[in-house]
Amino acid sequence: MASKTQTELSYSAYLSRKYGVTRRESQLMELILHGKNNKEIADSLKISDNTVKKHIGHLFQKLQVTNRVQLIHKVIEEEGVECQIF
């Protein structure tokens, strides 16, 4: 049985390949799917709010969406990913 870390790494690698995103962008995507806001993402990844905004902008371009709702919908629809939205 794969450890949680191995599973997370595998999923991040999968997202990176499927959507052409960087490893860091796939980490942000996962945090967005778990309902995290920019401040929570920045704190979790130890990066600035501006860096979060830049990564999210790149994600939107690569996934051809304009907001988080569209991003979440696209990933859930295409991947059947479960997420927590509050």
> Does residue 75 belong to any structural domain of this protein?
yes
> Does residue 70 belong to any structural domain of this protein?
yes
Could you read off the pLDDT of 27-82 as tens digits, one per residue? 999 899 889 999 999 999 999 999 999 999 999 999 999 999 999 898 888 766 55
Task: Give the predicted TM-score (pTM) of the model.
Answer: 0.75
CA-to-CA distance for 4 and 21, rounded, in angstroms?
21
> Does residue 15 belong to any structural domain of this protein?
yes
Q: What is the pLDDT of residue 60?
A: 96
The distance from CA 12 to its chain's CA centroid, rounded to whole angstroms, is 9
> Does residue 45 belong to any structural domain of this protein?
yes
Distances (CA, A) of 70 to 1, 2, 10, 32: 33, 31, 24, 11
CATH number of the domain encompassing residue 62: 1.10.10.10
Range of the domain at 73: 4-79
